[in-house]
Chains A and B, each alone.
Chain A
Amino acid sequence: MGLQTTEKPFLERVEEAKKDKFMQGSVAKAQDAQLIKREDARAQLGHWQQWRELGEQIRKETVRYLPDYLEEFADNVEKQGGHVFFAKDDKEAAAFIRQVAVEKKAKNIVKSKSMVTAEIGLNKQLLSIPGVSLMETDLAEFILQEDDWDEPTHIVFPTLHKNRTQIQKIFQKLGYKGDNDPSTMAKFARKYLRNKFIHADLGITGCNFAIADNGMINLVTNEGNADLCMAIPKTQVVVMGMERIVPSLKEAETLDNMLSRSAVGQKLTSYCTFCGKKQDGESDGPDDFYVVIVDNGRSKALGTVFEPVLQCIRCGACLNVCPIYRHIGGHGYGSIYPGPIGAVLSPILDGYEKFGDLPFASSLCAACTETCPVKIPLHHLLIEHRRIMMDKIHTDHTFTNQIMKIIGVGTGSPFLFKSVLRFGHVGLNVLTTKKPANTVSGFLYQQGRVGKVNPPLPKLMLGWTDLRDLPNVSKKHQNFRSWFGKHTPVKAVAHPQPLK
């Protein structure tokens, strides 16, 4: 699969997504339910803003000294007999893991949910090995796999776009005969997958946090499938983005707490595991243990204004509050990392040519920045991407670009602005055609109204009036400045006694 999920142009993806009313309904429902669960879970913890500050400090410190923490972590994994591979990019990472599978003569591979394995396109590589069976064991990822490898639409809830009847149909292909009751279907999947676990010889998991000072992997799940992927097969491969590291168990505890509350509104997930290579005297765990640490463009953010994006703990809360995500869902973004974090991260990982539209797909409402548990200034970083595209590398060669520059000149010159105030009404009046009476009363259209306009007027103006009516510019003698020059001040009834 890889980072990019489709090559269709942005607007086409958005139009397709907007037609999917079921998806929109389920995303809205999930967002609304998560709002209550998440805020409750955070309120129960108390002092949420201070927790965020702590979370930010931990992640900032880790990212700032990332090379040191990675070295410490790798040393500790190797001390315990594990192997660490640093992969420069997606291809190197996937090729290494494929090689491990070939060398171990793996036949039955089980995976637990991991966004980074999707990012590096691992499944395709593994399936290219003759005679290998590959099984996604996270319930949602299992559903996607059995639906001909459909793409996830959310980093925490991958099948948000599917309903229970669709899932029932997918399961029927595997011999399921029951109804569309979620618990009956989950039991079926459990039984089906259990058989795969027992025979698995290679387990692949992601990693929520890697603990630098003891070389352990921290996995946070609700299904326990990751624990089985790790406990049963003789060989385990852990794949992690290079920033997914914390200094010690102490910081992991803090972040697990914040992650569970932010991602799913739980105090803690059902399973929260710390694991590594099987040690002497232990009854389960892998004999061979590999950790693949993936860069794949992440280091491009280091030392730049985008460095805070590496603070992300992949809770998905920014998706769950985003009004754009609410309406276009994950597929609209065309990246396996959708939503605000995806709009910031995807262009860093793989450039503006593929993902340059995403930073503009935001009203900058800052709901993402407000909810982020580790205080990534997401909406600021979206503006930073825009700034690089418009001011530095000039990706926009359309007429809109020229108009933006004209707006820049107009809002920077008092003389020009005063001219607009003087002549604007007449100018816009030309566009005013006969139209029905206003249904909206109040101050909006007291100076007149412009309805829908037609080409060849600039796209920017059509973009406004295709959807909404536009107020006309005030006549010069009726505008605020003229009024202010003439008006008699209202009699003061109180003398101000400033509180500040």
Chain B
Amino acid sequence: MKVTIFDTCVVDLFFPQVAEDMVEVLERFGCDCDVPTNQICCGQPTYNSGYEKESIKTIHNEIDTLLANGSDYIVGPAGSCVAMLHEYQFMLKDDPEYAEKAKELAAKSYEFSQFLYRVLGVVDAGAQLDTVATYHRSCHMTRLLGEAETPYILLKHVKGLDLKPLPHVEKCCGFGGMFSAKEPTLSQPMVDEKVDSIVSTGAQTLISCDPACLMNIGGRMNRRGIKMNVMHLANVLNHNVDPSRIKFVKDVDKAAI
């Protein structure tokens, strides 16, 4: 199965470990991965700020690059960016050249946890991580991509992981892309409330499927001097893996998922 890695600009620029762990997990499940080097960014920084004209070139480039290798699937480590790939089909519905391509892209694109569970049928990735953790649910992954379950299913089966529920899990962390830099006065109380909620769980580890949210929450925690181990789900699922623990949907009772 050929999988094109949609590595996202934030991961490309700042967080190699996220994409490396994601690739290794996917390879473990038999995916033949490729990384097209002309990909850049999903276009949200400019599009969501109102610069539509400036975004179109970015979006066209991303579509062309991700579809070029004709892979079976396109998988990314960021719920928000993958949600944007799914939005293209609505933005470009009147674009004679790209309307169809945008539909094809949406049909093939998955966020990492979503792909593992919904396409590969993975329930237990075989990982072990001895920690008390909590999970930050990103707004775009939940509300725009419509995926609220898969990270929890995969985390539930990580050996040694004690996952605490996060109070106000539905509230935005205050990232919001350019919002975080353009409107710091509004973003600050949001990120502080999120940090306080996370700390209140007693977790040592914060996990999410959106690196940009983690960059925001973790960045605030570091500034406030709060101790926290910040991990992407891919870091967790590639930690201390014992292949004999791996389980698929078909191997387990529905009730145990």
What band does the interface of chain A fall in when counting residues whose beta carbon is under 8 Å from B? 35 or more
User: Binary interface profile of A, 300-326, with partner B (CB < 8 Å = 1, else 0)?
Assistant: 000000000000000000000101101
CB of B152 closer than 8 Å to a CB of A: no
Is A184 in the interface zone, CB < 8 Å from B? Answer: no
Annotate B40-64 by CB proximity to A: 1 below 8 A, 0 otherwise: 1101011111111111011001000
Q: For residue A391, which residues in chain B have a CB less than 8 angstroms away from its CB? A: 50-53
Contact A493 B246 (CB under 8 A): yes
| Choice from A388, A407, A439, A460 contacting B227 with Cβ under 8 Å | A439
B144 closest partner in A (C-beta): A366
The number of residues on chain B lying at the interface, defined by a beta carbon within 8 Å of a beta carbon of chain A, is: 100
Q: How far is the CB of B65 from chain A (nearest CB, A)?
A: 8
Check B105 for interface membership: any CB of A closer than 8 A: no
Selected from A405, A420, A445, A493, the residue in CB contact (under 8 A) with B13 is A420
Residues of the B chain whose Cβ atoms lie less than 8 Å from the Cβ of A366: 139-140, 143-144
Binary contact readout B218-249 vs A (1 if CB under 8 angstroms, 0 otherwise): 11111101111111100100000001001011
- Candidate in A364, A472, A500 with the most chain B CB atoms within 10 angstroms: A364
Smallest Cβ-Cβ distance to A361: which chain B residue: B186
Q: Is B98 an interface residue (CB 8 A)?
A: no
Q: Known A362-B176, A464-B181; judge A441-B229 contact (CB<8 A).
A: yes
Residues of A140-191 contacting chain B, CB below 8 A: none
CA A386 to CA B179, docked complex, whole Å: 12
The count of A-to-B residue pairs whose CB atoms sit within 8 angstroms is 298
B16, B24, B120, B221 interface centre (most CB from chain A within 10 Å): B16
Q: Is the CB of B17 within 8 A of A498?
A: no
Say whether B54 contacts A463, CB under 8 Å.
Answer: no
- Which residues of chain A from 351 to 400 have a CB within 8 Å of any chain B CB? 360-367, 369-370, 383, 385-391, 400
Closest chain A residue to B110 by CB distance? A500
Interface mask (A484-500 → B, CB under 8 Å = 1, otherwise 0): 10010111111111111
The reply to whether the CB of B183 lies closer than 8 angstroms to some CB of chain A is: yes
- In angstroms, how far is the closest chain A Cβ from the Cβ of B81? 12
Chain A: minimal CB distance from B123 (Å) = 12
Chain B 49-95 residues near chain A, CB threshold 8 A: 49-55, 57-58, 61, 65, 72
Cross-interface CB contact of B30 among A446, A447, A492, cutoff 8 Å: A492
Q: Is the pair B216, A468 in contact by a Cβ cutoff of 8 Å? A: yes
Known: A328-B186, A493-B28. A407 touches B12 (CB 8 A): no
Residue A438 at the chain B interface, CB threshold 8 Å: yes
A440 nearest CB neighbor, chain B only: B222
Q: A323–B168 Cα gap in the complex (Å)? A: 11
Cβ contact within 8 Å between B19 and A412:
no
Contact A468–B49 (Cβ < 8 Å): no
Q: Nearest Cβ distance between residue A410 and chain B, in whole angstroms?
A: 8
Which A residues lie within 8 Å of B9 (CB)?
411, 417
Q: How far is the CB of B26 from chain A (nearest CB, A)?
A: 9
B52 touches A387 (CB 8 A): yes
Measured between beta carbons, the chain B residues less than 8 angstroms from A500 are: 118-119
A418 sits at the interface (CB 8 A):
yes
Given A327-B189, A498-B120 in contact, is the A438-B222 Cβ separation under 8 Å?
yes
In the complex, chain B residues whose CB is within 8 Å of the CB of A390: 49-51
Task: State which of B14, B20, B249 has its C-beta within 8 Å of the C-beta of A472.
Answer: B14
Would A408 and B55 be within 8 Å (CB), given that A327-B189, A366-B140, A493-B243 are in contact? yes
CB <8 Å contact, A481 and B35 = yes
Q: A418-B37, A468-B220 are in contact. Are A363 and B143 (CB under 8 A)?
A: no
Contact B37 A461 (CB under 8 A): no
Cβ-closest 5 pairs across A and B = A363-B176, A408-B54, A386-B50, A468-B219, A390-B50
B residues apposed to A, CB below 8 Å: 1, 5, 7, 9, 11-20, 23-24, 27-31, 33, 35, 37-41, 43, 45-55, 57-58, 61, 65, 72, 118-121, 126, 139-140, 143-144, 168, 170-172, 174-191, 193, 205, 214-216, 218-223, 225-232, 235, 243, 246, 248-249
**24 A–B pairs (Cβ distance < 8 Å), ordered by A:** A14-B185, A323-B190, A327-B186, A327-B190, A363-B176, A363-B180, A365-B143, A408-B53, A412-B54, A412-B58, A413-B57, A414-B61, A441-B230, A447-B16, A460-B181, A463-B180, A467-B223, A468-B222, A468-B223, A481-B37, A483-B16, A493-B243, A494-B246, A498-B72
